[in-house]
A and B are shown apart, each in its own frame.
Chain A
């Protein structure tokens, strides 16, 4: 596939004209993966050319991360697929660590740096820890590190600790390291390598993204390839030569970036053509008395914004990763310290969020179900009963002792009504499946009949059947007057339960979808369109910006 060589890239400079008959660095054909009965990848074929920056796009659950994990040797693909690296067949499944020998290298979203060690130690990590070396030649290591940094004009001091670097420098360092890890391989064989960047940008400021792009481009200029995974279509359009879009485990389409429009890409991701600014549905949003009013809530990435939730309303929050929607629930509960804002219940006196603690939030009948079930929501090694009544054990302290029998009775009834299987209150939480554990934890909060239930990704790792049970429970409680704020990256889920959905981008609310206008596709499209909606820029102006 030939590429238009004359395409100018913002702040990057032109790239060399590409010969048309190159062997792909990576060629995948018919890669499939099923987990149990669930199809994650249904035969994906894809090729990445040398010197190319290749975008990989797709919604959550489209199969991107499964594909990455197969390349990293973490998952074994179903038999029948093939993988060629520089024209040579690689044996599938790959073993962990194989990828480096093949000239592949990964930068994951968390970057994989060790913050308490120096730039030098991080950069030379694999060399420093390689077995079979009697001693470390520090002078040579320092020289190699300086060379690597100067190769990409990265002005970092090698003795600086990584935790003192800014987020941009950290990302750049991780990418340089990824390249260094395969450089010797590349130089020895004279063949190009491939670096895969898995969403490295969501938390970077705009100027940082440009530096990152320059670095990606200079890697490509050396003849190696870069695979860039991102949710941000604008970024992908700005840096890539070609784009492959995954949808529901299949390749939805492959485009030459310079020839593709933003709309075409969104359409491939979402799955059907949509008018970008769909009717800003007013329709019949039932007039609800405001139950909870958040004013000027601000967090790490969230810019001050105000959100009102009606009595019995289920409000969905969504956006791309890093857009700030995922912070709201924690800020409103006092779980993370807010930079500002207030919370008012039933038109009462506003409580400054900076003074709110989880204890006070619970006393105000707020409830939070965090997204990280194992680390923040429930304790696996303790019983269902203990987990269920954690916030209100005091209720069972009667006549100088905990009423164990009463707890057991109530836990059994509660488990029954939330259909926890198996419904044995003395089982450890770890004995339950993810879905059932989540039911226990939702039951914990619903049992308290909170004014406002805050949910963060409530159905992550939850099977479809359980998901329906959870939704039904939420709807029933909402019908009785409980308000719900549900942050989720899953448009389908939001479409199913929300009365209203707020779309976030770059820390602000950019769109509101309500009533009839709520649909999975509309939410997904709004999420991806959210970036330019904010600027009010249509397709034309954006194209002009790109040509600039």
Chain B
């Protein structure tokens, strides 16, 4: 009786705090837009700037979405950055150098991502090596293969059809690239929240033994999650090739940290305490806005890294402090 009374009284207060927590990151995002806008009303606060920002960070956002699938199932996939590079270089090599049709090449790039995911899964799930170790290894392995494949050179001249499909047109003033990522986010949030598969993924990540004893095929779920992250990061590679119009064997790894930062930062918003696609999307564009604003202020390049890393640690710290003992949700 008393517990009920206490719970009933405490409820509204808790809900306000929770509601604020859900939108806190969005508010901070709006705040930094306001600040940069006040400093640079003309150059920063124009639609062209944001339109470029939405398109150019679409691959990074897709990468963040890719990461949260295995993270939800309790595995780290560090190899997404390298997979992105492999995918865009497969497109470059096969389309530009070998002259194969772009559609087939895109399918092959996605297949390459699937293979990477399955190789990771084999060592993580069946050989039972920690996911951090395996995906760190495959990252280096793929980076080497890409250098061999491309002779360490950037491959320009990718089929215009891809470029047109990615940045060739705009919808509501935003290039198409953004909508591919948005589409993936919609599908993911549907799967996460509205299908039994999403529940299984969550339980596998939070309590493997509990999941197993409740009849969930834990190994299959983990393999599936890693395969999906492979395919999605390959798709991010396709977008990247389209945005750049070329295949760059080096820059893909630069996406890894922002994508991870966004995944964890995103887990502090929208659905706090859970890796969630909308949170990840908001987080990517929050980071992107910060970096773009700072760059436009003429702040040196190294600040980008400081901003990414600092935002990640700060966000997770705040979330940890406000949630107290509950916070063990993530990781």
User: Known contacts A375-B209, A379-B207, A421-B4; is A402 also within 8 Å of B215 by CB?
Assistant: no
CB distance from B218 to the nearest CB of A (A): 10
Q: Is A460 an interface residue (CB 8 A)?
A: no
* A394→B198 CA distance, assembly (Å): 11
Residues of B contacting A379 with CB < 8 Å? 203, 206-207, 210
- CB nearest to A393 among chain B residues: B196
Q: Is B3 an interface residue (CB 8 A)?
A: yes
Q: Is B256 an interface residue (CB 8 A)?
A: no
Q: Is B98 an interface residue (CB 8 A)?
A: no
Q: Fill in one digit per residue for A319-343: 1 if any B CB lies within 8 Å of its CB, else 0.
A: 0000000000000010100000000
**Of A370, A391, A397, A428, which contacts B215 at CB under 8 A?**
A391
Q: Are A402 and B195 touching (Cβ within 8 A)?
A: yes
Q: Are A390 and B203 touching (Cβ within 8 A)?
A: yes
* A522→B225 CA distance, assembly (Å): 53
Q: Is A382 an interface residue (CB 8 A)?
A: yes
Q: Are A390 and B217 touching (Cβ within 8 A)?
A: no
CB distance from A147 to the nearest CB of B (A): 38
Q: Are A376 and B199 touching (Cβ within 8 A)?
A: no
* A428→B213 CA distance, assembly (Å): 20
- CB nearest to B212 among chain A residues: A358
* A379→B328 CA distance, assembly (Å): 12
Q: Are B199 and A358 touching (Cβ within 8 A)?
A: no
- Which A residues, 147 to 175, have Cβ-Cβ distances below 8 Å to chain B? none
* A77→B178 CA distance, assembly (Å): 64
Residues of A contacting B329 with CB < 8 Å? 381
Residues of A contacting B203 with CB < 8 Å? 379, 382, 386, 390
Residues of B contacting A382 with CB < 8 Å? 202-203, 206
Q: Are A381 and B328 touching (Cβ within 8 A)?
A: yes
Residues of A contacting B7 with CB < 8 Å? 422, 424
Q: Is A468 an interface residue (CB 8 A)?
A: no
Q: Are A401 and B190 touching (Cβ within 8 A)?
A: yes
Q: Fill in one digit per residue for B180-220: 1 if any A CB lies within 8 Å of its CB, else 0.
A: 00000000001001111011101100110111111111000
Q: Are A370 and B195 touching (Cβ within 8 A)?
A: no
User: Known contacts A378-B210, A381-B329; is A359 also within 8 Å of B217 by CB?
Assistant: yes
Q: Is A509 an interface residue (CB 8 A)?
A: no
User: Known contacts A390-B203, A430-B326; is A421 also within 8 Å of B209 by CB?
Assistant: no
Residues of B contacting A424 with CB < 8 Å? 7
Q: Is B92 an interface residue (CB 8 A)?
A: no
Q: Are B194 and A402 touching (Cβ within 8 A)?
A: yes
CB distance from B220 to the nearest CB of A (A): 10
Residues of A contacting B217 with CB < 8 Å? 359
Q: Is A254 an interface residue (CB 8 A)?
A: no
Q: Are A390 and B199 touching (Cβ within 8 A)?
A: yes
User: Known contacts A401-B190, A428-B326; is A359 also within 8 Å of B215 by CB?
Assistant: yes
- Which A residues, 415 to 472, have Cβ-Cβ distances below 8 Å to chain B? 421-422, 424, 428, 430
* A394→B216 CA distance, assembly (Å): 12
Residues of B contacting A421 with CB < 8 Å? 3-4
Residues of B contacting A368 with CB < 8 Å? 213
Q: Are A376 and B210 touching (Cβ within 8 A)?
A: yes
User: Known contacts A382-B203, A390-B199; is A401 also within 8 Å of B215 by CB?
Assistant: no
* A350→B112 CA distance, assembly (Å): 46
User: Known contacts A378-B210, A401-B190; is A358 also within 8 Å of B215 by CB?
Assistant: yes
Q: Is A377 an interface residue (CB 8 A)?
A: yes
**Of A377, A397, A428, which contacts B210 at CB under 8 A?**
A377
- CB nearest to B7 among chain A residues: A422
Q: Is B273 an interface residue (CB 8 A)?
A: yes
Q: Are B199 and A393 touching (Cβ within 8 A)?
A: yes
Residues of B contacting A357 with CB < 8 Å? 215
- Which A residues, 491 to 532, have Cβ-Cβ distances below 8 Å to chain B? none
Residues of A contacting B326 with CB < 8 Å? 381, 428, 430
- CB nearest to A368 among chain B residues: B213
* A430→B207 CA distance, assembly (Å): 14
User: Known contacts A381-B329, A422-B3; is A358 also within 8 Å of B213 by CB?
Assistant: yes
* A396→B198 CA distance, assembly (Å): 13
* A361→B207 CA distance, assembly (Å): 19
**Of A377, A396, A404, A430, which contacts B213 at CB under 8 A?**
A377
- CB nearest to B198 among chain A residues: A402
Q: Is A41 an interface residue (CB 8 A)?
A: no
- Which B residues, 289 to 331, have Cβ-Cβ distances below 8 Å to chain A? 326, 328-329
- Which B residues, 1 to 29, have Cβ-Cβ distances below 8 Å to chain A? 3-4, 7
Q: Are B195 and A401 touching (Cβ within 8 A)?
A: yes
- CB nearest to B4 among chain A residues: A422
Residues of A contacting B198 with CB < 8 Å? 402
* A382→B199 CA distance, assembly (Å): 10
* A389→B212 CA distance, assembly (Å): 14
- CB nearest to A396 among chain B residues: B196
* A375→B206 CA distance, assembly (Å): 10
**Of B3, B196, B212, B216, which contacts A397 at CB under 8 A?**
B196
CB distance from A312 to the nearest CB of B (A): 25
**Of B4, B206, B214, which contacts A391 at CB under 8 A?**
B214
Residues of A contacting B215 with CB < 8 Å? 357-359, 361-363, 391
CB distance from B127 to the nearest CB of A (A): 18
* A382→B214 CA distance, assembly (Å): 15
User: Known contacts A382-B203, A390-B210; is A401 also within 8 Å of B194 by CB?
Assistant: yes
Q: Are A386 and B202 touching (Cβ within 8 A)?
A: yes
Residues of A contacting B193 with CB < 8 Å? 402
Q: Fill in one digit per residue for B47-81: 1 if any A CB lies within 8 Å of its CB, else 0.
A: 00000000000000000000000000000000000
* A401→B107 CA distance, assembly (Å): 29
Q: Fill in one digit per residue for A349-368: 1 if any B CB lies within 8 Å of its CB, else 0.
A: 00000000111011100001
Most buried by A among B214, B217, B326, B328: B214
Residues of B contacting A389 with CB < 8 Å? 199
Residues of A contacting B209 with CB < 8 Å? 375-376
* A390→B214 CA distance, assembly (Å): 7
Most buried by A among B4, B203, B210: B210
A-B contact pairs, 22 of them (CB 8 A): A333-B213, A357-B215, A359-B216, A362-B215, A363-B215, A375-B210, A376-B207, A376-B209, A377-B210, A378-B210, A379-B207, A381-B273, A381-B326, A390-B211, A390-B216, A393-B199, A393-B200, A401-B195, A402-B199, A421-B4, A422-B3, A424-B7
Task: Give me the interface of A with B, judged by CB distance under 8 Å.
Answer: 333, 335, 357-359, 361-363, 368, 370, 375-379, 381-382, 386, 389-391, 393-394, 396-397, 400-402, 404, 421-422, 424, 428, 430
Having A390-B203, A421-B3, one finds 8 other A-B pairs with CB under 8 Å, namely A333-B213, A357-B215, A359-B216, A363-B215, A368-B213, A391-B214, A422-B3, A422-B4
Task: Give me the interface of B with A, judged by CB distance under 8 Å.
Answer: 3-4, 7, 190, 193-196, 198-200, 202-203, 206-207, 209-217, 273, 326, 328-329
- The 3 A-B pairs with the shortest beta carbon distances in the complex, nearest first, are A359-B215, A393-B196, A379-B207
